[in-house]
Amino acid sequence: MTDYPQQPPPGPPPQQPPPGGYPSYPGPEGGRPADRPAGFFKALFDFSFTHFVTPKIVKFAYVLATILLALIYVGLVISGFASDEPAYGLIVLVLGAVGFIVYLALIRMTLELYVSIVRMSEDIHKRLPGG
């Protein structure tokens, strides 16, 4: 078999990365790195609302909601079995678990909605000229 020399593909020559790395993404600022996110207290007391606090507190809010729902569920189960009717305790045990899962899912979806809105706002702000 004979080896034929390979010809370059048609079109303009590929751009070479700058020395020491890859080319930066040409964003509206010409590839300028994004500003560092603010800390919790800086974002909390930012009266110009340039930094968002929602992504920083959403984990805490979800854990707090989970704990509160679990305490309510346990309290309902205890009160159900403490009643005079034992069937009421079993009903609360089964239906309370379903309610716990449904409410936890609704809380999770609501928190995800808040975070996604904040992320979209941050992305739009970065893409705007001068942002």
Residue 23 lies in a domain: no
Residue 36 lies in a domain: no
Interatomic CA distance for residues 113 and 37, integer angstroms: 20
What backbone phi and psi angles, to 5 degrees, belong to 51? -120, 145
- Mean pLDDT score, 118-128: 87
Tally of domains within the chain: 1
pLDDT in tens, 13-55: 556 655 555 555 444 444 433 455 667 777 778 777 777 888 8
**Are the C-beta atoms of residues 29 and 128 closer than 8 Å to each other?**
no
| DSSP track, 11-48 | SSPPPPPPTTSPPPP--TTSSPPPPPPP-HHHHHT-TT
Residue 120 lies in a domain: yes
| pLDDT surpasses 80 at 3 | no
pLDDT of residue 24: 52
Residue 43 lies in a domain: no
Give pTM, 2 decimals.
0.62
Residue 65 lies in a domain: yes
Residue 77 lies in a domain: yes
Interatomic CA distance for residues 104 and 98, integer angstroms: 10
Judged by average pLDDT, the poorest of 45-49, 54-58, 114-118 is 45-49
Residue 89's domain comprises 53-127
Residue 19 lies in a domain: no
Q: Name residue, tokens 């507190």.
A: 57
pLDDT over 90, % of the chain:
43
